[in-house]
Amino acid sequence: MTYKELTAIVQVVSVAVVTWWGAAQVAGDPELMQSAPAAAAMLVTAIGISIAFNIVVMIVGSIVVSIAQRAEMKDERADERDRAITTRAMRNGYLVMSVAALAGLLLLAFGNVPTVTATYALFGAAMLGGAADAVSRLVYYRIG
C-alpha cells in the first residue's frame, strides 16, 4: 500500500465516521432538525472532527503500515500517472457533488421539507463528492 492509497482510505473512513457522528447528534437533539444555525454549528464541529481524525489516523496508519511492510511509508513526488488519476478522481467527485447538490435543491423545491434540510444537503453533497473522489482514486490505483 502506498501513502496516496492510505490517504484515500482514511478519507473514505473519515466520511463514514463524520456521517455516523452527525446522525447521532441529530438523533439526540431535535433542535438540529429545526434550526439552521444550530445545524450549521454542528456541521462545523463535524468538519473539525474530520480534520482531526484524518491527521491522527494518517500518523497512526503510516506507522502501522510501515511496521507491517518493514519499510518506511512516505509520500513520493507525484508523477504523470498520479496526476492523471487525481484528475479523473476529481472529475468523478465533482460530478457526484453536483448531482447531490441538485438533488438537494430539487428536494427543497418540491419535497415540502424544512429549510434546515438545505444545510444538510449542502454539507452532504460536499461529503459525497469527497468520498467519490477518494473511492475513485483507490479504484484507479488498482486498475490503471
C-alpha cell at 122: 449542502
21 belongs to the binding site for other proteins (CB under 8 A):
no
Q: Which CB sits closer to other proteins, 3 or 53?
A: 3
85 belongs to the binding site for other proteins (CB under 8 A):
yes
* Three-point CA angle 61, 8, 130, nearest 5°: 135
Q: Are 5 and 141 a contacting pair, CB within 8 Å?
A: yes
140 belongs to the binding site for other proteins (CB under 8 A):
yes
Using the structure block, give the residue that is written with the C-alpha cell 482514486. Answer: 137
Smallest separation, CB 141 to other proteins (Å): 7
Q: Site for other proteins (CB under 8 A): which residue of 76, 109, 110, 115?
A: 76
Q: Which stretch binds other proteins (CB under 8 A): 30-38, 56-64, 119-127, 136-144?
A: 136-144
Q: Are 17 and 73 a contacting pair, CB within 8 Å?
A: no
79 belongs to the binding site for other proteins (CB under 8 A):
yes
Q: Which CB sits closer to other proteins, 34 or 87?
A: 87
C-alpha cell at 16: 463514514
Smallest separation, CB 129 to other proteins (Å): 21
Using the structure block, give the residue that is written with the C-alpha cell 488519476. Answer: 85
Residues 6+ positions from 11 with CB-CB distance below 8 Å: 54, 130, 131, 133, 134
Smallest separation, CB 6 to other proteins (Å): 13
Residue 124, Cβ neighbours under 10 Å: how many?
19
Q: Which residues bind other proteins (CB under 8 A)?
A: 2, 76-77, 79-82, 84-85, 88, 140-141, 143-144
